[in-house]
Amino acid sequence: MQTSPLILTVLAGLSTGLGGVLAVLGKPTEKLLAASAGFAGGVMLTASLTDLLPEALHFYGRYLPPLACGGALATLTALGMAAAGLLGKLLPEESELAARFGQGRDPARAAAMRTALITGAALLLHNFPEGVLTFFAGTADPALGLRTAAAIALHNIPEGLAVAVPFAYATRSRAAGVLAALVSGLAEPLGAVLAWLFLRRFFTPGFLNGTVVLAAGIMVWVSFARLLPDAFAPKHRAAGILGAAAGTLLMLLGIAALP
């Protein structure tokens, strides 16, 4: 019996929520927050530099000369980084977040909320094309769709961990952390449904790979501009380094499982 491509995409997205559940089994602390920031940075950089960008380079390299291919990828990556920088400017400042969420006596919680919002937005944009990929793989070949969904579900779990911890710390609510991870993952079936309803005639492999490169640029910027500086701050640097190493290793395992 074949599984519906949409069901496969939903299950892959829900695995992000599973990562969120795992993240909040312990009590969120500043040390765990530093480890989480390192973990998220490791996850995003590894996914971008060892999976998303090389795959796009391989794809476009079949159609463009090397210099044009490299220039196109560099431009798209730079656009993604610029979009992430703009997103960071548009989000509320930490002082505004502290006032809005009643965190005036704990600036670390306001900083965690801003980190959580940026990380969640970056992964939301990353998960959207993943949902399209899973859906269309399942439509073209049910066996390939099942393998793709399983592999994406595996590397969505650490992404859920990366989103849930700062939300739980900032809000003092484990349920909020799990919900944030779940919402991030549900971008995958949402992307699949929107693509099928409105964009399927425009979704060429070239267009989809372009959106993946943009997402990679966003995640590279978020890693270097926000997550890793938070993780490697002196107070809990050892925890941040261990988190970055764990995120890198787990994402490499997830990438190795991709068909």
For the chain, the domain total comes to 1
Q: 244 and 40 in contact (C-beta within 8 Å)?
A: no
- How does residue 106 score in pLDDT terms, banded at 50, 70 and 90? low
pLDDT digits (tens, 9 = 90+) for 156-213: 777 787 788 888 888 888 888 888 888 888 877 887 787 777 766 766 777 777 877 8
Task: Provide the CB-side half-sphere exposure for 67 (13 A, CA).
Answer: 0
Q: 36 and 23 in contact (C-beta within 8 Å)?
A: yes
Against a cut of 0.75, is the pTM above it? no
Could you tell me the residue range of the domain that residue 44 belongs to? Answer: 5-256
pLDDT digits (tens, 9 = 90+) for 27-61: 777 787 788 788 878 887 888 888 878 888 888 88
What would the DSSP string read from start to end of 104-173?
TT-HHHHHHHHHHHHHHHHHHHHHHHHHHHHHHHHHH-HHHHHHHHHHHHHHHHHHHHHHHHHHHHHHT-
Q: 137 and 144 in contact (C-beta within 8 Å)?
A: yes
Task: Provide the CB-side half-sphere exposure for 77 (13 A, CA).
Answer: 17
